[in-house]
Amino acid sequence: MANSTAPGATPATPDKDPSVRVRFCPSPTGNPHVGLVRTALFNWAFARHHGGTMVFRIEDTDAARDSEDSYNQLLDAMRWLGFDWDEGPEVGGPHAPYRQSQRMDVYADVARRLHEAGHAYECFCSTEELDARREAARAAGLPSGYDGLCRTLTDEQKAIFRAEGRQPILRFRMPDHTIVFEDLVRGTLSFEPKDVPDYGIVRANGAPLYTLVNPVDDALMGITHVLRGEDLLSSTPRQIALYAALAEIGVGSGATPSFGHLPYVMGEGNKKLSKRDPQASLNLYRERGFLPEGLLNYLALLGWSLAEDRDRFSMAEMVEAFDIAKVNANPARFDLKKCESINADHLRLLSPEDFAHRLVPYLQRAELLPAEPTAAQLELLAKAAPLTQERMVVLSEVVDMLGFLFVDPSAFTVDPADAAKALTADARPVLAASIKALEELGEFSPEPIQAALREALVEGLGIKPKFAFTPLRVAVTGRRISPPLFESMELLGRRETLRRLTAALDALPSA
């Protein structure tokens, strides 16, 4: 018993240790969020670094809050992020099932045994009574957790409560000694009994709570390391005590896992990033076109780094180097600009083919490409994509950057604000001279196009290059910011380029 109250007084885990078993165990409520992804990432990197086992478990015992849609989103997110797991949904494993909603008989059995062994007791206090006593304790400056009133009820007293129509919850009896453990991130932590009161493990209606099912499954599934957010730190001393009780009644191996609590993630205004924060939603990053490897690289930096001067790394590099002892306990700030810049770095690292390939769904979503793009469309994309690879931060930018090439000519429009700035009456001689020059041009490729336009506009009309090309850019690509102009014209082809220049000329306001 004494031994199991001070777990994790562990030597550092050796680099290769196949006995390592970690778990990622989200509850399927709402949309996956970045905090959850960071937890999954650190567990996964830890498991893979040590050559251990990654268990994926779904904690869906709260029927009122859990949803099938959220469950499916979790699985989809894990696949999109590129995580693999050795045990869990869709892959099975020796401790199946891995959805807690399918393990209710296990929890009922363990709860009964804890009760019989005296580690848990029936508590008949109503919520109102608990609230009133908590208030009174607070007012008197006393600890305000559960006061242990039902700890020593006799059978007669229980019978009276039952006769009053009260339904008991099951409450875990905390030991009355200090609980000390070595947090893998924070070092030695210790909790006094007055700060960790007895706590509910089964509701009055028989439904088991997180407080029970999470450590019971960790024990049964042989979890060796629990890496999770700091928000769960207060449940750790309770779980350590529960582990000792489970060992006594013969549930699990009897060993207590080591715990490591990952730092808080702070959002805007230095407030904790909440899962309801729009900035926290994983879907947002997927829709904007973050690469999974870019997003994960950034999330790794929320508490860890490969080396002081290395912000950008691959998941393989992270796995190779990951060390939970190097995780920083201080809160980490979520910095969207930094996240974007890391993503842009990863975009640049893709091969041109891969980059073009990853743009396809974004063009499809904007209906600029059909579900089955033609060979010609894919060829055009392969040529156009390299013009943007250095300029993009997220993949969805392709819609604005290359939309002009894929849009049906009859649906092409210029951005009204850009047109108002660039397609003024002054642009008339520029457009007219450009049309003439391009009509007369021999080979329609970037260098000759550039030479012809320079000659017509800069030398011919005496316009500074800075001003000469902007009206052309807006007329041809629809925007003042676009991929390189002469390459864009080539990809669009002479006919369509001239058609757009002529349409812009015709639409110019009169001087």
Interacting residues toward ligand GLU by CB under 6 A = 25-27, 59, 214, 228, 232
What span, in angstroms and rounded, lies between the C-alpha atoms of 490 and 465?
Answer: 19
Element spanning 333, H or E: strand 332-333
What span, in angstroms and rounded, lies between the C-alpha atoms of 305 and 328?
Answer: 9
Distances (CA, A) of 238 to 6, 21, 172, 222, 260: 13, 21, 9, 18, 15
What span, in angstroms and rounded, lies between the C-alpha atoms of 101 and 79?
Answer: 22
CB nearer to ligand GLU: give 30 or 484: 30
Retrieve residue 443's tokens: 């080979």
Helix 210-220 to helix 235-249 angle, to the nearest 10 degrees?
Answer: 50
CB of 69 vs ligand GLU, minimal distance in Å: 17
CB of 122 vs ligand GLU, minimal distance in Å: 26
What span, in angstroms and rounded, lies between the C-alpha atoms of 176 and 343?
Answer: 50
CB nearer to ligand GLU: give 27 or 488: 27
Residue pair 422/470 in contact (Cβ under 8 Å)? The answer is yes
Among 194, 275, 383, 436, the active-site one is 275
CB nearer to ligand GLU: give 261 or 473: 261
Retrieve residue 108's tokens: 């009922």
What is the distance between the terminal CA atoms of the chain, rounded to a whole angstrom? 91
E strands within 9-119? 21-24, 53-56
CB of 166 vs ligand GLU, minimal distance in Å: 30
CB nearer to ligand GLU: give 220 or 232: 232
CB nearer to ligand GLU: give 66 or 122: 66
Q: What values do phi and psi take at 440, rounded to 5?
A: -85, -10
CB of 212 vs ligand GLU, minimal distance in Å: 12
CB nearer to ligand GLU: give 65 or 79: 65
CB nearer to ligand GLU: give 227 or 419: 227
Distances (CA, A) of 178 to 76, 260, 391, 505: 43, 19, 57, 82
CB of 226 vs ligand GLU, minimal distance in Å: 6
The conformation of residue 457, written as its DSSP 8-state character, comes to I
The one-letter amino acid at 493: G
* Residue 457, burial from CB neighbour count under 10 angstroms (0-12, 13-18, 19+): buried
CB of 61 vs ligand GLU, minimal distance in Å: 9
CB nearer to ligand GLU: give 50 or 228: 228
Map tokens 């015992």 to a residue: 61
CB of 231 vs ligand GLU, minimal distance in Å: 8
Q: Is 194 designated active site?
A: no
Helix 210-220 to helix 104-116 angle, to the nearest 10 degrees?
Answer: 100
Distances (CA, A) of 5 to 58, 173, 181, 256, 369: 27, 14, 7, 9, 61
The conformation of residue 490, written as its DSSP 8-state character, comes to H
CB of 26 vs ligand GLU, minimal distance in Å: 5
Catalytic residues: 275
